[in-house]
Chain A
Amino acid sequence: MGTQTNDPDSGIAAGPGSRRAAGQLESAVLAVLWEVGRPLSAGEVRDRLHRDGAGSAELSYSTVVTILTRLHEKKSLSRQRDGRAFRYAPVADRAGLAARRLSALLDQSPDREAVLSRFVADLSDRDEQLLRGLLGEGPGSGRD
């Protein structure tokens, strides 16, 4: 699932039908948004993809919207309403996104616990109370 964030240019012209191509389109769109550093509308994203010479003559407005929506659903992008359309911005920087994807990928695997060594495991509500007790904090007074 689109792990190759580092080659946004390749495969753009491939049909949007294949999953691999879709992953690369997502990477290309993300690359545009990282580069710009401010929220963009779907039209602006498409214009920039064209201008970057991404060979995307076939890239229609609706394809870009689809990709943006999908990225938003994956929580890779945040969006805000601007008039009748949305503007999109990356949720995390490149490192954050790669890490997030990794984490999401491993979360799907039942073996993730042993592959990723997390600093702290999940807490139950009772664990939380215990910890606050051990830290000498009353409930709710911790720094969050």
Chain B
Amino acid sequence: MGLPAYLTLLCPLAAGPLARLLGDRLDPRRATWLLTAAAVLLAGTSCGALGLLSLSALVRVPLVARLGELSPAVLTSGDPTETGIALVAGVLFGAALLATAAFAVRRARALADARRHARGLPGKGSLVITRDESADAYTVPGRPSRIVVSRGMLDALDDAGRAALLAHERAHLDGRHYLYTSAVRLAAAANPLLRPLADAVEYTIERWADERAAAHIGDRGTVARAIARAALAAKASGQRPGPVPALGAVFARGGAGASPAHGIGPVPRRVAALLGPPPLRRPATTALTLLFLVFVILCALHAADNLQDVLSLAHVEGG
């Protein structure tokens, strides 16, 4: 097995550079797709490689070998994986499975809560306006999904700004953006090295909704100003606790692709992006990313193939 399996395990280290490459410069819709695909693929292959490494140790346990009618001699000579490494891989594999399952349960519950509450909100339309004086606006996924906007938020915006806000939130609903964030967070739960990708996706879906809103309104500057005013109003009404600086430095919390190196949060970056030139499709960047993903797949397949070769050989000899 050897090299391909280890290469597969190293691939997630590319998450940080990949997130930087795709997060800011690319058309946000395309970026979201590529980042999500990369996260899910890397999580799957790296966990798979851990599984293979631990399996290669498991079959060398005499009892398992006997049950599988495998030849211990072939297994030991054909597979250079050291027992110690295999054990570590086994532990990591188990931890990844547990973390993934725990995350899946938690997220499913959060979504069920949201769904229930979306149903419980008054009115039948998708828009719910609360008489809350503090400025807040968000989308709750459900059936129907709801857009909740406080009166404080409406007061902070002019007509064009309100239209921009609604277009942004509708873009989240139409695009089912919570599915992307759930997928990448699941991937990051399975392999914490993938967190930069998850943070980047949380940012690119906001950019995606921003650009959709801009296309709907017909003016990117209007959307930029609406976001800035809304954020300032939300901070002024101070209803929610602000970002935790210590966590922010470590995990880029507020995640949404906050870049801790520069300490600039997602909102100013979104505004700046809208005030700058429209995003590009960048075929070269896209091609490079796809090439990398193909490399990842080949590594993983090769690793699986190697183990299978050893196993089938051992089976012939042992059976």
Partners in one complex: yes
Which residues from chain A sit less than 8 Å from chain B, CB to CB? 3-6, 92-96, 98-103, 105-107, 109-124, 126-128, 130-132, 134-135, 142-144
Could you say which residues of chain A place their CB within 8 Å of the CB of B177?
Answer: 117
Q: Which listed residue, A102, A107, A127, A134, touches B265 by the CB 8 Å rule?
A: A127
Interface flag for B48 (CB, 8 Å): no
On whether A106 and B172 interact (CB within 8 A), knowing A92-B132, A116-B139, A122-B240, the answer reads no
**Contact call B111/A115, Cβ cutoff below 8 A:** yes
Interface flag for B72 (CB, 8 Å): no
**Contact call A120/B117, Cβ cutoff below 8 A:** no
Which residues from chain B sit less than 8 Å from chain A, CB to CB? 106-107, 109-111, 113-114, 116-117, 120-123, 128-132, 136-141, 148, 150, 153, 156, 165, 168-169, 172, 177-178, 181-182, 185, 202, 205-206, 209, 224-225, 227-237, 240-243, 245, 248, 254-256, 263-268, 271-272, 275
Could you say which residues of chain A place their CB within 8 Å of the CB of B237?
Answer: 144
Could you say which residues of chain A place their CB within 8 Å of the CB of B245?
Answer: 124
Complex-state Cα separation, A53 to B143, whole angstroms: 35
**Contact call A95/B129, Cβ cutoff below 8 A:** yes
Complex-state Cα separation, A112 to B271, whole angstroms: 23
**Contact call B240/A130, Cβ cutoff below 8 A:** no
Could you list 15 further interchain pairs (A-B, Cβ under 8 angstroms) beyond the known A121-B267, A122-B240? A111-B185, A112-B110, A113-B256, A117-B169, A117-B178, A117-B209, A120-B137, A120-B267, A123-B231, A123-B267, A131-B231, A131-B232, A131-B268, A134-B228, A144-B237
Nearest chain B CB to A3 CB, angstrom units: 6
Complex-state Cα separation, A98 to B230, whole angstroms: 22
**Contact call B264/A134, Cβ cutoff below 8 A:** no
For the complex of A and B, the 8 pairs showing the least CB-CB separation, nearest first, are A114-B181, A96-B130, A144-B236, A120-B231, A119-B137, A102-B117, A130-B268, A117-B172
Q: Which listed residue, B122, B206, B263, touches A124 by the CB 8 Å rule?
A: B263
Nearest chain B CB to A116 CB, angstrom units: 5
Nearest chain B CB to A119 CB, angstrom units: 4
Nearest chain B CB to A90 CB, angstrom units: 10
Complex-state Cα separation, A3 to B112, whole angstroms: 13
Nearest chain A CB to B292 CB, angstrom units: 25
Nearest to B156 among chain A residues (CB) is A143
Chain B contact residues, majority secondary structure: helix
Can you spell out 5 A-B residue pairs with CB atoms less than 8 angstroms apart? A121-B231, A123-B234, A124-B248, A126-B264, A142-B232
Could you say which residues of chain B place their CB within 8 Å of the CB of A135?
Answer: 225, 228-229, 232
Q: Which listed residue, B111, B122, B256, touches A121 by the CB 8 Å rule?
A: B256
Complex-state Cα separation, A94 to B255, whole angstroms: 32
**Contact call A116/B138, Cβ cutoff below 8 A:** yes
Could you say which residues of chain A place their CB within 8 Å of the CB of B232?
Answer: 123, 128, 131-132, 135, 142, 144
Complex-state Cα separation, A96 to B136, whole angstroms: 11
Complex-state Cα separation, A135 to B97, whole angstroms: 47
**Contact call A119/B272, Cβ cutoff below 8 A:** no
Nearest to A3 among chain B residues (CB) is B120
On whether A117 and B120 interact (CB within 8 A), knowing A107-B240, A131-B232, A135-B229, the answer reads no
Could you say which residues of chain B place their CB within 8 Å of the CB of A101?
Answer: 117
Nearest to A116 among chain B residues (CB) is B138
Nearest chain B CB to A61 CB, angstrom units: 30
**Contact call A128/B235, Cβ cutoff below 8 A:** yes
On whether A122 and B128 interact (CB within 8 A), knowing A114-B178, A131-B271, A135-B225, the answer reads no
Complex-state Cα separation, A119 to B149, whole angstroms: 9
Q: Which listed residue, B121, B234, B236, touches A98 by the CB 8 Å rule?
A: B121
**Contact call B168/A119, Cβ cutoff below 8 A:** yes
**Contact call B137/A118, Cβ cutoff below 8 A:** yes
On whether A122 and B243 interact (CB within 8 A), knowing A96-B131, A112-B110, the answer reads yes
Could you say which residues of chain B place their CB within 8 Å of the CB of A121?
Answer: 206, 231, 254, 256, 265-267
Could you say which residues of chain A place their CB within 8 Å of the CB of B178?
Answer: 114-115, 117
